[in-house]
C-alpha cells in the first residue's frame, strides 16, 4: 500500500478493509479534486507531537505504513518512523513526564508494527492510549495494546485483532475479453497472488500461512499486555467502548483528551494502570521531588556528565554521596575529575571482574550498602570505573 511496487500490496495487513478503501478513495479522488479547486483539505500543517503541562501527545491518525513518504502523509497516512521519532523526543525531553497516544486509525501494514509496538512497551515514561470517538482497529490496536493503559470516549470502536491479505483476480475477465496473459518467472511462488492468473492451491496455502503467522504475532502481543482478553474476542471483531472495557480491551471511558491527559498527570487508585507503572518501575509524574526533576534535567542537558558517569543511576549516586560529604564532584576545567566516594571498605576495588563478585562484595559490606543503596547502582559504578567512564581519585 506504499505505491512503490506491487509487492507492497501482497504483504499481510492488519487493517479493516473498509478503512483501506476509504483511504485509497481519498488518496486517488477526493484530495486531487480539492487541490484542483485550490482548497486545503488538511489544514495548515501535518499532525505533530505537542507537549502541554508535562504530557506529550503523539497523534497516530490514518493508515499506518512503515515508511510513509511525505505525499502519503499529506494524504492521511501515518509513518511508523515518524511515530518512532516522536517517542524518542518524548523520552529525551526532561519536561515530559507522561505520553498520551491519540489513536484514530483503521490499521495498516504488519511490517514495522511489531517493532513500533515493542518500542512503546519499553518506554520508561508512563503511557496511555486514547481514542476519541473514532477507530482503534487492527494494527492501531496492536500499538495501543502496548501502552500502560487505554481509555476511550463512549462512541469509540476498538479491536479488529487479526491479519488480512486481499488478492484481486482478473483472469476470467481477461479470458472473456479475449486477452491472453503469459507470465515468465523464476521461482515457483514468484507470481503468487498476481491478479492476471488464478491462484494455485500451493500458492494459496503459502499466502495463508503468512497471514496466519502475522495474526499469531498480533494476538501474542495483545495477550502479553492484556491477558484477560479472550481468544474468541480476537477474531477481527470491533467493540464499542463500553463493551471493549468489559472485555478487557480498554481500561476506562473518558469525556475527552483533557480528562485522559489528567489521568497521566494525576494518577490515583482509580486509574487501572497505576499498578502497571509501579511494576515497570516508571516514575509517576506527581511522585518525583523537585530535586529529582532538576537532577534529571541537568543530566539530559549535559553531554559531559553523560560521558563522565555513563548512566544516570551512577551520576545520581555520586550526587547523593556528595550531598553527604563523601564525594567531591568538580566542574570540568583544567583538571576535571569526579572524586570517588570515600568508601569505608577495602573491598571497593576496581579489579573485580564479574557482576557476581560485585554482588558478593556489596552484600558483605554495610559501608557499601549505605553508600550506594542498591547493588545495581554499585555494579554500574564499578563497571563504569573499569571502562574508564568515570575518573576518580581518593580523598
Domain with 101 in it: what CATH number?
Answer: 3.90.226.10
110 and 70 inside one domain: yes
pLDDT at 349: 34
228 is a domain residue: yes
Residue at 189 is within a domain: no
Same structural domain for residues 117 and 151? yes
Strands (E), the chain: 13-15, 50-52, 55-61, 63-65, 77-79, 98-105, 107-109, 127-137, 149-152, 157-159, 238-240, 252-253
Range of the domain at 311: 290-386
Domain final position from 220, 252, 277: 277
The answer to whether residues 44 and 103 belong to one domain is yes
In a domain, residue 394? The reply is no
In tens digits, what is the pLDDT along the chain, a chain of 395 residues? 223 333 444 555 555 555 555 544 444 444 444 444 444 444 446 789 999 888 999 999 999 998 887 778 777 889 999 999 999 999 988 888 899 999 999 999 898 999 999 999 999 889 999 999 899 999 999 999 999 999 999 999 999 999 998 888 888 898 898 998 888 889 998 988 888 899 999 999 999 999 999 999 999 999 999 999 999 999 999 999 999 999 999 999 999 999 988 877 765 555 555 444 544 555 444 444 455 667 777 888 888 888 777 777 777 777 766 655 545 444 444 333 444 443 333 333 333 346 777 787 788 887 788 777 888 888 777 776 665 555 544 44
The answer to whether residue 129 is domain-embedded is: yes
Query: Which of 223, 246, 277 is the last residue before a domain boundary?
Result: 277
Quick one: which H or E segment has residue 274? helix 274-280
pTM: 0.62
CA-CA distance, 134 to 76, in Å (whole number)? 15
Judge whether 224 and 146 are in contact, CB under 8 Å: no
| 377 and 247 assigned to the same domain | no
Q: 102 with 12, same domain? A: yes
Under 8 Å between Cβ of 136 and 152: yes
70 lies in some domain? yes
State whether 131 and 47 are in the same domain.
yes
How far, in Å, CA of 30 to CA of 24, rounded? 10
Q: Assign 216 to helix, strand or coil.
A: helix
Q: Biggest alpha carbon distance in the chain? A: 93
Same domain? For 363 and 228 the reply is no
Strands 55-61 and 98-105 come out as parallel
Q: Which of 243, 277, 311 is the last residue of a domain?
A: 277
Per the rule left: phi > 0, alpha: psi between -120 and 50, beta: everything else, 78 is beta
- Please, what is the end-to-end C-alpha distance for the chain in angstroms? 64
324 shares a domain with 214 = no
Q: Which among 321, 320, 339 is positioned nearest to 329, based on CA atoms?
A: 339
Residues 117 and 263 in one domain: yes
Q: What gap in Å lies between CA 50 and CA 35, rounded to an integer?
A: 28
Residue 194 lies inside a defined structural domain of this protein: no
How far is it, in rounded angstroms, from Cα 144 to Cα 13? 17
Q: Are residues 262 and 366 in the same domain?
A: no
Q: Are residues 211 and 263 in the same domain?
A: yes
Number of compact structural domains in the chain: 2
SS (H, E, C) 290-345: HHHHHHHHHHHHCHHHHHHHCCHHHHHHHHHHHHCCCCCECCCCCCCCECCCCCCC
Q: Is residue 187 part of a domain?
A: no
Say whether both 36 and 127 belong to one domain.
yes
Asked if residue 184 is part of any domain, the answer here is no
Amino acid at each position: 500500500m506504499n505505491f512503490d511496487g506491487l509487492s507492497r500490496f501482497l504483504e499481510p495487513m492488519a487493517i479493516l478493509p473498509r478503512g483501506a478503501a476509504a483511504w485509497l478513495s481519498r488518496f486517488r479522488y477526493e484530495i486531487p479534486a480539492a487541490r484542483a479547486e485550490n482548497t486545503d483539505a488538511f489544514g495548515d500543517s501535518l499532525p505533530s507531537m505537542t507537549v502541554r503541562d508535562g504530557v506529550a501527545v503523539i497523534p497516530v491518525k490514518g493508515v499506518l505504513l512503515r515508511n510513509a513518504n511525505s505525499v502519503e502523509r499529506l494524504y492521511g497516512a501515518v509513518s511508523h518512523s515518524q511515530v518512532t521519532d516522536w517517542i524518542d523526543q518524548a523520552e529525551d525531553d526532561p519536561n515530559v513526564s507522561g505520553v498520551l497516544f491519540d489513536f484514530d486509525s483503521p490499521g495498516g501494514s504488519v511490517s514495522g508494527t511489531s517493532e513500533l509496538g515493542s518500542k512503546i512497551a519499553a518506554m520508561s515514561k508512563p503511557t496511555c492510549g486514547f481514542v476519541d470517538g473514532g477507530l482503534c482497529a487492527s494494527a492501531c490496536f496492536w500499538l495501543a495494546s502496548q501502552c500502560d493503559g487505554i481509555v476511550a470516549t463512549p462512541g469509540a470502536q476498538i479491536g479488529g485483532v487479526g491479519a488480512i491479505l486481499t488478492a484481486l483476480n482478473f483472469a476470467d475477465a481477461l479470458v472473456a475479453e479475449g486477452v491472453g496473459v503469459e507470465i515468465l518467472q523464476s521461482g515457483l511462488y514468484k507470481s503468487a497472488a498476481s491478479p492476471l492468473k488464478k491462484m494455485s492451491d500451493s500458492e494459496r496455502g503459502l499466502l495463508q500461512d503468512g497471514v496466519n503467522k502475522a495474526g499469531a504475532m498480533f494476538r501474542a502481543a495483545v495477550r502479553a499486555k492484556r491477558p484477560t482478553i479472550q481468544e474468541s474476542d480476537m477474531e477481527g471483531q470491533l467493540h464499542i467502548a463500553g463493551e471493549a472495557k468489559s472485555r478487557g480491551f480498554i481500561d476506562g471511558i473518558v469525556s475527552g483528551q483533557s480528562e485522559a491527559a489528567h489521568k497521566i498527570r494525576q494518577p490515583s487508585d482509580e486509574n487501572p494502570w497505576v499498578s502497571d507503572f509501579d511494576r515497570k518501575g516508571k516514575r509517576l509524574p506527581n511522585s518525583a521531588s523537585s530535586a529529582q526533576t532538576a537532577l534529571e534535567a541537568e543530566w539530559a542537558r549535559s553531554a559531559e556528565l553523560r560521558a563522565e558517569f555513563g548512566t544516570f543511576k551512577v551520576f545520581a549516586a555520586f550526587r547523593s554521596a556528595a550531598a553527604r560529604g563523601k564525594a567531591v564532584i568538580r566542574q570540568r576545567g583544567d583538571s576535571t575529575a569526579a572524586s570517588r566516594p570515600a568508601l569505608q571498605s577495602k573491598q571497593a576495588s576496581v579489579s573485580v571482574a564479574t557482576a557476581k563478585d560485585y554482588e558478593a562484595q556489596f552484600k558483605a559490606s554495610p559501608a557499601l550498602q549505605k553508600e550506594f543503596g542498591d547493588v545495581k547502582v554499585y555494579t554500574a559504578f564499578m563497571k563504569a570505573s573499569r571502562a574508564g567512564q568515570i575518573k576518580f581519585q581518593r580523598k
